[in-house]
Amino acid sequence: MRTMMASIGARYHIITMSDEGQDLVEYALVVALIAFGAVAGMQQLATGIGTAFAMISNDLATTL
């Protein structure tokens, strides 16, 4: 029983002192921030493209 508790304590110490999980969380946050920015940028780009095509369509309709 004592060796099992020592083994569990040693594993807990290794897990709490390891910073590998922290790096993974930081990378995930950076990826999420980039994805959020890309989605916001794409929405504005789509609106601009839609407006440009609408103007072209109106110009063609009035010309023809």
The predicted-structure confidence for 24-40, as pLDDT tens digits, reads as follows 888 899 999 999 999 98
In the block, tokens 């920015």 appear at 37
Residue 53 lies in a domain: yes
Over range 28-57, report the average pLDDT.
93
Is the pLDDT reported for residue 15 higher than 80?
no
Residue 41 lies in a domain: yes
Greater confidence (40 vs 3) lies with 40
Using 50, 70 and 90 to split pLDDT, how confident is the model at 9? confident
Round to whole Å and give the CA distance between 48 and 8: 59
Q: For residue 19, report the phi and psi dihedrals to the nearest 5 degrees.
A: -110, 15
Greatest C-alpha distance within the chain: 91
Task: Specify the number of domains making up the chain.
Answer: 1
Token pair belonging to 42: 């794409």
Round to whole Å and give the CA distance between 56 and 41: 23
Q: Which domain holds residue 47?
A: 19-63
Token pair belonging to 58: 């109106």
Over range 3-23, report the average pLDDT.
70
Residue 32 lies in a domain: yes
Residue 33 lies in a domain: yes
